[in-house]
Amino acid sequence: MSAKKLLALLFVLAVLVGVAVIPARVGIAPVSAGATSRPSLEEGGVIMQAFYWDVPAGGIWWDTIRSKIPDWASAGISAIWIPPASKGMSGAYSMGYDPYDFFDLGEYYQKGTVETRFGSKQELINMINTAHSYGIKVIADIVINHRAGGDLEWNPFTNSYTWTDFSKVASGKYTANYLDFHPNEVKCCDEGTFGGFPDIAHEKSWDQYWLWASQKSYAAYLRSIGIDAWRFDYVKGYGAWVVKDWLKWWALAVGEYWDTNVDALLNWAYSSGAKVFDFPLYYKMDEAFDNKNIPALVSALQNGQTVVSRDPFKAVTFVANHDTDIIWNKYPAYAFILTYEGQPVIFYRDYEEWLNKDRLKNLIWIHNNLAGGSTSIVYYDNDELIFVRNGYGNKPGLITYINLGSSKVGRWVYVPKFAGSCIHEYTGNLGGWVDKYVGSNGWVYLEAPAHDPAKGQYGYSVWSYCGVG
């Protein structure tokens, strides 16, 4: 009996006795294994953006998130990113990006309401505690470029009345006046303003004390209720030193530096000590997957025009968020970010409303269990992309084959990492259980299904060693 036939027989016997465990569906990686195998947030685990713009008002959102947590934990989510929790100028209608009283998380009557749009402080704490009970960390959205909703006062630096009187905040904490905003006696301005709102002067010791640099600060307050990490909004508006100093006190973070200049993003990331959303990759994925221009994406990856290609440990990758949702061909985009390098984010509405949840659960499992190590691109054209993850630690690596065409495709590819091995297709997109044997010379014929989600054809396949699961 040849070695190849012997290997095939041994593999079949292993399946029959239950050694190769892939129980959820024939040919599909288990979607319930994530709860025990998911990496931590710090190790690059998958983040769920747990909101979208204008989520339902009425104080129900913290409870809504809480109800989703068991499923998200089962799916393998490592952390959730929640919206800004403080009382905003718009009261019960605020999405939190117009912060008025940083220390009102839904417990004081002001701006026409006690609860925030999302609920009460206690409901927020209950949600955080539930997340922690399932091993999920909570990332708070931090809006500290500006404040909103203050009263009018005379401002000698502008020679006019400005909305900079925050002496009446119901919490009684972090009161402020015109001296706490630009222009002031220190300087006229900083890196940027937003929406005409009063621009916080982060160089003032009073503002630092109340925002992050003390045990009575806003950051300390959020930590006291269980917040684990931070997502900083509009970091173009103030110096990277602010986030760097914040992180000396309070754990890890990611910043929203909305720009396609990868040098600017990495300069900010290295100066702040935080990770950064990979906006250059986001726009290249739109070009590649919506316009069948995969060479543009590959060129950007090979020439260091994305954060993930320059420093994957600084890159947070995404397909959509509450501010921007331009990629309509989302399945190949999620297949890409969940099998490529970088730390991926899943958008709430994609997971809960718009896409096939089982497809995303499957990709999360693949990310958590297979997708490790450096990347080698082995083939691409306008419609097709094939790359190998070379494995690291307990993640053995994988081969991703993305096909944007309307017909099933196949190619011989050289994947020396898997030479002489049995490899299994872990998405089920090819229909049932599919194994291949990579030649000792490293060559194998791989296939990817047609891309037509309306017909249940998802246009990608993912391969790794047989028996992982």
The answer to whether 202 touches 208, Cβ cutoff 8 Å, is yes
Domain annotation for the chain: domains and CATH numbers: 34-371 (3.20.20.80)
Residue 23 clears pLDDT 60, i.e. is over it: no
Q: Is the peptide bond before 183 cis (omega within 30 degrees of 0)?
A: yes
How far is Cα 226 from Cα 132, in angstroms, rounded to an integer?
8
Q: Which residues of 267-306 are buried (b: 16+ CB within 10 A; e: fewer)?
A: ebbeebbbbbbbbbbbbbbbbbbbeebbebbbebbeeebb
How far is Cα 411 from Cα 205, in angstroms, rounded to an integer?
62
| Tokens coding 96 | 């939190």
List the Cα angle 281/388/9 in 5-degree steps.
150
pTM of the model: 0.92
pLDDT of residue 251: 85
Q: What is the pLDDT of residues 266-292, one digit of tens each?
A: 999 999 999 999 999 999 999 999 999
Give the chain's mean pLDDT. 93
pLDDT of residue 5: 36
How far is Cα 155 from Cα 162, in angstroms, rounded to an integer?
6
What are the residues whose beta carbons fall under 8 Å from the beta carbon of 180, sequence distance 6 or more? 164, 166, 200, 201, 204, 206, 207
| Tokens coding 399 | 């081969």
Burial-class residue 9 by CB neighbours within 10 Å (0-12, 13-18, 19+). Answer: exposed
Residue 372 clears pLDDT 90, i.e. is over it: yes
Label residue 25 by pLDDT band (50, 70, 90).
Answer: very low
Burial-class residue 328 by CB neighbours within 10 Å (0-12, 13-18, 19+). Answer: exposed
